[in-house]
Structure 1
Amino acid sequence: MSDPVSATEARAKFQEIINRVEYGKERILIERHGKPVVAVIGLEDLKRLEAIEDAIDSANLRQAIAENEGFTTLEAVITQHSHE
């Protein structure tokens, strides 16, 4: 991660920041009042982050299903209610 950039500097150098992230593969923190508030990351980093989140969500769902004996599917609920 490169040195943090102030929000004021980020506004003034936005195109440079985009180039550093896109071509230099940097991750840039932007600070407001000396505290990091956002990060600018490349598209590949975002895709990896989303893939990790999807994997975690899938693992959590599998664990919830395994731990809940009363678990049912939406299809089963619809079928049950359509026969009532």
Structure 2
Amino acid sequence: MGNKQLTNGFGVIGQNSGLTSPAMAEVLPFSEAKARLSELAERIENQHERIVVTRHGRPSFVLMSLDELESLEETLDILGDEELMASLRQSWQDAAEGKLIPLEEVI
């Protein structure tokens, strides 16, 4: 009924950060989301969907599962840790250069 793709005029808002891209998120007006909250909660919990809720035709907030929120917060924590990110970049570079340790040596 009120479904549409959310864009900012330059492309789809957001990045694909995991299970569902904001480009694939269902967009509903507040009144419709309120009326369908039980159904939406079921889909969000079981299928990890995101629902963008609009007010007065503008995106206002997102409904998502608690698991997905916690995953996004963990990802942001990792990305915000400069030391950890430097270590990850070095690991990726080492792997690209073939500097690998055989699994047998690790175990």
Identical-residue share of aligned pairs (%): 31
- List runs of 5+ in structure 2 lacking aligned partners: 1-23, 87-107
Flag the structure with more relative contact order, 1 or 2, with Cα contacts below 8 A and sequence separation at least 6: 1
Aligned match for 1:53, one of 76, 95, 99: 76
Aligned structure 1 segments of 4 or more residues deviating by more than 6 angstroms: none
Aligned match for 1:21, one of 40, 44, 48: 44
Say which structure is richer in helix.
1
Superposed CA RMSD = 2.1
1:34 aligns with 2:54: no
Aligned match for 1:3, one of 26, 46, 53: 26
- Using the TM superposition, give the Cα deviation of residue 10 of structure 1 relative to its aligned residue in structure 2, in angstroms: 1.1
- Greater gyration radius: 1
